[in-house]
Amino acid sequence: MALERTFSIVKPDAVAKNVIGQIYARFEEAGLKIVASKMLQLSREQAEGFYAVHKERPFYNDLVSFMISGPVMVQVLEGENAILKNREVMGATNPAEAEAGTIRKDFADSIDENAVHGSDAPETAAEEIKFFFNDDELCERLR
Ligand code: RTP
Ligand code: MG
């Protein structure tokens, strides 16, 4: 088992629903520790850059507009197999297909407004953490 860090966003729909704390509780219940966290209003340029991998997809413009529709929480989660564990806690991209007890099943309304983002691999986790945090913003957690 590897101690990993992954990048996570509580998206504008979940911030608007006032469930930041309930989502953070899901991370903590899964053994994921928050080692950095802040609230941000993304600029269009930031959102476009963050989701550049989806630039050619039909949903790209709507995704960018949604991500700048209100503030988000960005955080770095640490734990054993944190990348996969966070994806499990999040549930499927489409909340209609997400398993019971997952964040997206319980807090998301649609595939377009699906409450959370989580990195999908070690390389993207490292890139996404760097995109939003300086090294001095990442804390060491005692265990
Ligand atoms: P995320 O990157 O946000 O954690 O979500 P994901 O890995 O589960 O899904 P991904 O394929 O990376 O897609 C990024 C976001 O784009 C929106 N999307 N819409 N209408 C559609 O078919 C569609 N597909 C994806 C979702 O909001 C998804 O979270
Ligand atoms: Mg993704």
11 annotated ligand-binding residue: yes
Inter-CA distances, 64 with 18, 99, 102, 114, Å: 21, 26, 24, 13
- Residues facing 43 on adjacent strands: none
- Write down the pLDDT at residue 19: 98
SS3 label, residue 9: strand
Query: In CATH terms, is domain 3-137 a member of 3.40.50.2030?
Result: no
Q: How confident is the model at residue 85 (pLDDT cuts 50, 70, 90)?
A: very high
Catalytic residue among 8, 50, 117, 125: 117
Ligand 1 neighbours (beta carbon < 6 A) = 54, 59, 63, 93, 111-112, 114, 117-118, 120
Q: Is the pTM of the predicted complex or chain greater than 0.95?
A: yes
In whole angstroms, give the CA distance from residue 95 to residue 107: 9
Q: Where are the domains of the chain?
A: 3-137
Distance CA 76, CA 74 (A): 7
Q: Is 54 a catalytic residue?
A: no
Confidence of residue 6 (pLDDT cuts 50, 70, 90): very high
Condensed to tens digits (0 to 9), the pLDDT of residues 99-127 reads 999 999 999 999 999 999 999 999 999 99
| Residue identifier of the C-alpha nearest atom 26 of ligand 1 | 112
**CA quadruple 11, 17, 20, 23: dihedral sign:** negative
